[in-house]
């Protein structure tokens, strides 16, 4: 197998620009709508959105690599990074590290990319690891860097990266390319074209002993943010993790050629879906404000507690719907009281009811 970096035209990526025109148009339109909707949020909801998107991205970019972290600990670490009040939960090194990288990405997106920045991100992402020979520097091991699966005796090689001896040269070219194609750089590239190539280019080099996926996705988001001069706050890793198999299939195919139109079409669609997810979240927060304005003074403490718990689930709603048993468990009240509270919430138009008997479920009224 000949990989993309072994071909004579590496790293001169080619693609059909006409295939991205509609995606670019949709992206710019949706970004404008996001900015407009964001302005309708109060400061509390703006902070909520920012913290939730960043923490969810931290969790999902880790899950893509098979690492499952504690949501509350990650969110607490992110709040701490922003200087906000926290619940002082103790975070593991991995949770603290990914939180640091995601907040640093958010705060320093405008800065040019440097080797030192990449080394810093690697140390953050690999925090707590004791099994790596190369921490905070490009890999140096002599063995081939391969992505494999299957039986140890008959492995399937999905990708092989350039040897470690080429890392300094390859990464010098990559960093220069990234900065030269920035909005203030000498080479003009479209928003989605640059972000998609940046991610693929970095992943093709695979410069670190581990953590390349998480850092590569951060680079893609940095490219998007630089294009607008502001953090985009789109749920890129959330969507990639949701369709993880599709992501790895697209990457594997793209690693075999420097004609990358198919990869950029895939990546553009993923970014548009991520944008739509963020827009749904913003609309959810706007509806939440209207919801509480309409019900102000009409809810008891038990009802307020349960509704707050339901809102924490976000636009996707309480998984499976809220049951009477959930209500009793959350409020520590009797079944009779729970029934009265739920009936009142339906009458007030706060909740909708579906199902019958023990299968009765309740959902926030404005969710589909």
| Domain boundary assignment for the chain | 4-283, 300-364
Report which DSSP code applies to 129. -
Report which DSSP code applies to 67. -
Q: Does domain 300-364 have CATH number 3.40.50.720?
A: no
- Contact assessment for residue 217 and residue 199, using Cβ atoms and an 8 Å cutoff: yes
Which pLDDT does position 323 carry in this prediction?
A: 97
User: Which is nearest to 123 in space by CA: 215, 60, 55, 198?
Assistant: 215
Tell me if the pTM is above 0.85: yes
Q: Which class is domain 4-283?
A: mainly alpha
Please list the ranges in the chain whose pLDDT falls under 50.
none
Report which DSSP code applies to 112. P
User: Which is nearest to 207 in space by CA: 118, 269, 116, 271?
Assistant: 118
Name the E strands within the chain. 146-149, 156-160, 351-354, 361-364
- Contact assessment for residue 278 and residue 33, using Cβ atoms and an 8 Å cutoff: no
Residue 119 half-sphere exposure, CB side, CA atoms within 13 Å?
Answer: 11
Cα 39 to Cα 80: distance, rounded to the nearest angstrom:
25
* The two structure tokens encoding residue 208: 């670190």
One fold for 4-283 and 300-364: no
**Count of C-beta atoms within a 10 Å radius of residue 26:** 17
Which pLDDT does position 18 carry in this prediction?
A: 97
Q: Which residue has the tokens 């509350």?
A: 72
């Amino acid at each position: 197998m000949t990989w993309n970096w072994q071909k004579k035209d590496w790293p001169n990526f080619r693609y059909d620009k006409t295939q991205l025109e509609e995606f670019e148009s949709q992206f710019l339109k949706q970004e404008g709508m996001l900015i407009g909707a964001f302005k309708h949020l109060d400061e509390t909801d703006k902070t909520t959105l920012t913290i939730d998107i960043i923490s969810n991205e931290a969790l999902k970019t880790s899950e893509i690599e098979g690492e499952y972290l504690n949501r509350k600990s990650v969110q607490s670490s992110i709040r701490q990074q922003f200087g906000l009040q926290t619940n002082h939960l103790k975070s593991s090194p991995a949770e603290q590290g990914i939180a640091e990288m995601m907040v640093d990405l958010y705060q320093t997106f405008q800065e040019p990319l440097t080797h030192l920045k990449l080394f810093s991100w690697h140390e953050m992402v690999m925090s707590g690891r004791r099994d790596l020979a190369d921490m905070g520097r490009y890999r140096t091991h002599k063995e081939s860097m391969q992505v494999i699966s299957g039986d140890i005796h008959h492995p399937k090689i999905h990708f092989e990266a350039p040897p470690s001896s080429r890392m300094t040269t390859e990464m010098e070219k990559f960093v220069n390319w990234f900065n030269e194609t920035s909005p203030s750089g000498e080479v003009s590239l479209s928003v989605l074209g640059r972000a998609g190539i940046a991610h693929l280019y970095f992943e093709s080099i695979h410069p670190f002993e581990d953590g390349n996926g998480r850092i590569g996705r951060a680079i893609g988001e940095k490219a998007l943010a630089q294009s607008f001069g502001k953090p985009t706050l789109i749920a890129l890793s959330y969507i990639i993790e949701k369709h993880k198999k599709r992501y790895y299939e697209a990457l594997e195919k793209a690693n075999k050629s420097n004609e990358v139109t198919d990869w950029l079409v895939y990546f553009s669609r993923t970014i548009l879906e991520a944008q739509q997810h963020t827009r749904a979240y913003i609309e959810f927060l706007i509806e939440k404000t209207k919801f509480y304005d309409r019900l102000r003074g009409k809810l008891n403490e038990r009802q307020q507690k349960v509704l707050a718990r339901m809102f924490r689930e976000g636009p996707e709603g309480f998984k499976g719907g809220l049951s009477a048993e959930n209500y009793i468990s959350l409020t520590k009240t009797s079944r009779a009281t729970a029934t009265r509270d739920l009936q009142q919430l339906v009458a007030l138009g706060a909740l909708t009811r579906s199902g019958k008997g023990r299968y009765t479920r309740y959902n926030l009224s404005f969710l589909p």
